[in-house]
Amino acid sequence: MDHCIDGTNLIPKRSAKHKFRQEIFKAWQHQCAYCGESADTLDHVRPRHKGGATVTTNLVPACRNCNRRKGSEEWREWFNRQDSYLLDRELAVLQWIQASDDKTP
């Protein structure tokens, strides 16, 4: 059930998490940022255990295969070794993760 306090709509955590994830998938047309196949997971570009946050600009859609193979490697080093490497995809990921820097005054 949604609630409203002083004009602010509150939604359950589960709904918020689902919407958060779906917005990322939608922005990438549900394609893996690395290989272009259908994406069904989100990958932390900078792994959480290396200080990566669970924020939009640190998450990209990934197929299970790419997500598993990348593991906790630095994404650009890993991605450049892949048969599916394309400069356009590398630039798209860079643009995505730098989006928060562009909004900073």
Q: In this structure, are strands 41-44 and 59-62 parallel, antiparallel, or unpaired?
A: antiparallel
pLDDT(20) > 70 = yes
Q: Which helix (H) or strand (E) holds 59?
A: strand 59-62
pLDDT, tens digit, 9 for 90 and up, residues 50-90 = 999 999 999 999 999 999 999 999 999 999 999 999 999 99
Structure tokens at 11: 């939604």
Residue 101: helix, strand or coil by DSSP?
helix
**Other Cβ atoms closer than 10 A to 39:** 24
Q: What percent of the chain has pLDDT over 90?
A: 76
Structure tokens at 13: 């955590």
Q: What is the pTM of this model?
A: 0.82
Q: What is the pLDDT of residue 52?
A: 94
Number of alpha carbons in the 13 Å side-chain half-sphere of residue 49: 4
What length is written for the chain?
A: 105
Mean pLDDT of 2-23: 79
* Structural domains of the chain ordered from first start: 31-100 (1.10.30)
Q: Please indicate whether residue 17 or residue 28 has the higher confidence score (pLDDT).
A: 28
